[in-house]
Amino acid sequence: MSFETQTAARMPWADDRPPRVLACEDDPVFQVMLKAGLQAQGLPLTVISDGGALEAALASLRPEILLLDLGLPGEDGLSIARRLRRRHPRLGIVMITSRGLAEDRLQGFQEGADLYFVKPVDLRVLGAAIQSLARRLAPAPPEGAWFLHGDRSVLATPNGGEVVLTHNEHLFLNRLLRDRGTVVGRDELMAALGYAPDPEGAHRLETLLTRLRKKVRDQAMGEALPIRARHGSGYAFLE
Question: How many CB atoms are located within 10 Å of the residue 170 CB?
Answer: 20
pLDDT at 19: 87
Q: What share of the chain is helix, strand, coil (3-state, %, to 5)?
A: 40, 20, 40
* Cα–Cα distance, 224 to 230 (Å, whole number): 17
pLDDT at 139: 67
* Cα–Cα distance, 111 to 80 (Å, whole number): 9
Residue 208's nearest CA partner among 178, 186, 239 is: 186
pLDDT at 73: 85
The answer to whether 54 and 48 are in contact (CB under 8 A) is yes
The answer to whether 227 and 236 are in contact (CB under 8 A) is yes
CA-based diameter of the chain, in Å?
Answer: 67
pLDDT at 90: 87
- Enumerate the H helices of the chain as residue ranges: 28-39, 54-61, 77-87, 102-110, 123-137, 167-177, 186-193, 199-219
* Domains of the chain, first to last: 21-137 (3.40.50.2300), 147-237 (1.10.10.10)
pLDDT at 2 over 60: no
pLDDT at 52: 84
More confident call, 226 vs 10: 226
Q: What is the mean pLDDT of the chain?
A: 86
pLDDT at 152: 75
pLDDT at 7 over 60: no
Residue 48's nearest CA partner among 76, 33, 69, 62 is: 69
Query: Considering the chain, what percentage of its residues have pLDDT values greater than 70?
Result: 90
- Neighbour-count burial of 104, counting CB atoms closer than 10 A to its CB (0-12 exposed, 13-18 middle, 19+ buried): middle
pTM beyond 0.85: the answer is no
**Mean per-residue pLDDT, 99-116:** 94
Residue 148 banded pLDDT, cuts 50, 70, 90 = confident
pLDDT at 3: 33
Between CA 215 and CA 221, with CA 216 as vertex, the angle to 5 degrees is: 115
**Mean per-residue pLDDT, 122-148:** 84
What residues contact residue 59 under an 8 Å CB cut-off, 6+ apart? none
The answer to whether 43 and 130 are in contact (CB under 8 A) is yes
Residue 143 banded pLDDT, cuts 50, 70, 90 = low
Which helix (H) or strand (E) segment is 162 a member of?
strand 162-164
pLDDT at 8 over 50: no
Q: How far from each other are the two terminal CA atoms of the chain, in whole angstroms?
A: 54
Identify any residues that bridge with 116 across adjacent strands, giving them in sequence order. 95
Residue 23's nearest CA partner among 41, 3, 6, 48 is: 48
pLDDT at 41 over 70: yes
Model confidence over 157-184: pLDDT tens digits?
A: 888 888 999 999 999 998 998 888 899 9
pLDDT at 103: 93
Identify any residues that bridge with 45 across adjacent strands, giving them in sequence order. 21
φ/ψ region of 99 (left if φ > 0, alpha if ψ in -120 to 50, else beta) reads beta
pLDDT at 10 over 90: no
Residue 35 banded pLDDT, cuts 50, 70, 90 = very high
pLDDT at 91 over 50: yes
